[in-house]
Chain A
Amino acid sequence: MSRERSRPITVHEPDRLREWTRELRGRHVVGARYRNAPGSSWPDGNSAEAIHEVDMDVAIMLDNGASAVVSWSMDGLVEGIDLEIRQNSGTTPELEETDVTSTPEWQSLVNQVVNEVAVAWQVPNDGCPNTLWAVRLSLSEGSTIVVALGEIEGDIVQYQPDALVVLFDEAAARAYQPLASAETAFGTAIGA
């Protein structure tokens, strides 16, 4: 692996979440990139309409040059999301990247400021701690971006631990709730 082994964020690691959140608040969104499985591009069979499907990672580019990266991550039975801040836009060699800033969904979000970060937790398997499975950014013009574990089958978003969906619509985020979570993908805001 090219980078430090990914681990999902659990409720026992508030510092990891707090640090990621601190980097985002007040920053302008300037674009986004999707990282795809080796040998594939985006959309390449993934949904590219109101809900985007992403194979590996979502990188939200910020006005300071950093990227807030959301990845699916599995640590044994602990299935969840890993959050990371990358200080440059360096690519991950083994993954293909697609700049999706120009898609209609992202284009409408460019230059908006991140006002709030919210998260949703789940207990993915017996004995696992509460683990992050969805993260929401609320933006200055009232828009929201939700990145959550899942995939689209037919017209339905369903849980999948090793795939991501990007929901741009608040109603869709509020309607998506896997069995193992007590809350929807819209989540609960993190305090300052």
Chain B
Amino acid sequence: MERFLSPDPLGFIDGPNPFIFGGAQPMYFVDPDGLWMRASELAIVGMLGGALGFSGLPIPGPDFRDDHEAAIEFFRGQIVGAGIGLTSDAALLSAGAPIAGGLGAALGCLGSFCAGSVPAAVGAYSTTAGIAAARVTMHGMSALQGAQGLREAERQYMLSEKKGGGDGAATPASTTNTGVSPASATGGPKAGLDALSASGREVVKNDLTRAGLEYQKHMGRGELPKVSGRELNSAGQSLLDAILRDPQTKQIGVFSGNFPGGTRFIGPNGIGATFDAKGVFRYFGVYP
């Protein structure tokens, strides 16, 4: 991870760490002089990806001719978002319109929003470009407006992650969990691993989180090691995170039953966690 050797001359405009480089996302942002960062070549490639997609060039992935209208909407959103995002980059250099970046981000995300069965990776790049545009805006112009744009863009990004790849897309029956990808280009989880993990922390009964309650019940069936009441939440969350992060964990799409569109992660020890179609953790299970 890259970092600056001296603090940001603009102070804490980027957050509590004045040494941070490229918003701690050097793949997507560059910041050669420390005064402002812009979308890296990778993010620009994402914008161009959106443009190419709109122009009709073939994109690897499932055949979406059956979902033609959704694909058109998706790429239309991407091209508009990419175009405005690029415009905002240029505009920054001449101290131009601060809103353009945020607008580009929102429209870029709107494209991803419409994507039901299009490869998530393409959408992710364009959405990232949108976020880059919002960050650029935050640097160069009104910090408040920029921050709002960023928050909205990131919120839309999470929503688009949840939405993208679903709706009956050609999801493999089982894939191996890499433990790093926030959104699978092959379907499966509708939210990044962090969001999946976070859903286990929701307090559902008294002070018990969903992960803690599930741990408690399956401990009661003798399926999990005994812990004290105080440790239930941490034990449940640790188990959930271990399942999600283990590179040998298998990720299985749930197509029928009571949680269609959901995902089941089964760790190498056979203990699994099932998430509903919204990416919310529902229960543990043992799958020999």
Contact = CB atoms under 8 A, between A and B. Distances in A.
Contacts of A162: 214, 217-218, 283-284
A37 B229 CA distance: 10
A186 interface: no
B256 interface: yes
Contacts, number: 75
Interface string B242-265: 000000000000111110100000
B205 interface: yes
B285 A39 contact: no
B220 A179 contact: no
Interface of B: 205-206, 208, 213-214, 216-222, 226, 228-229, 232, 254-258, 260, 282-288
A156 interface: no
Given A2-B222, A94-B222, A162-B283, A180 B257 contact: yes
Contact of A126 (B221, B226, B257): B257
Interface stretch (A20-28, A40-48, A102-110, A111-119): A40-48
A17 B226 CA distance: 32
15 contacts: A37-B216, A38-B220, A40-B229, A44-B206, A55-B216, A55-B220, A56-B217, A56-B221, A76-B287, A76-B288, A125-B254, A125-B256, A160-B282, A162-B217, A180-B258
A76 B256 contact: no
Contacts of B220: 37-38, 55-56, 94-95
Nearest to A45: B205
Give the secondary structure class of A's interface. loop
B234 to A, nearest CB: 14
A76 B216 contact: no
Interface size class of A (residues with CB under 8 A): 20 to 34
A45 B206 contact: yes
B286 A76 contact: yes
B283 A160 contact: yes
B283 A126 contact: no
B258 A178 contact: yes
A146 B78 CA distance: 52
Contacts of B229: 39-40
Contacts of A77: 285, 287
A192 interface: no
B145 to A, nearest CB: 37
A165 interface: no
A118 B276 CA distance: 29
A46 B206 CA distance: 9
Contacts of B286: 74, 76
Interface string A111-134: 000000000001111101000000
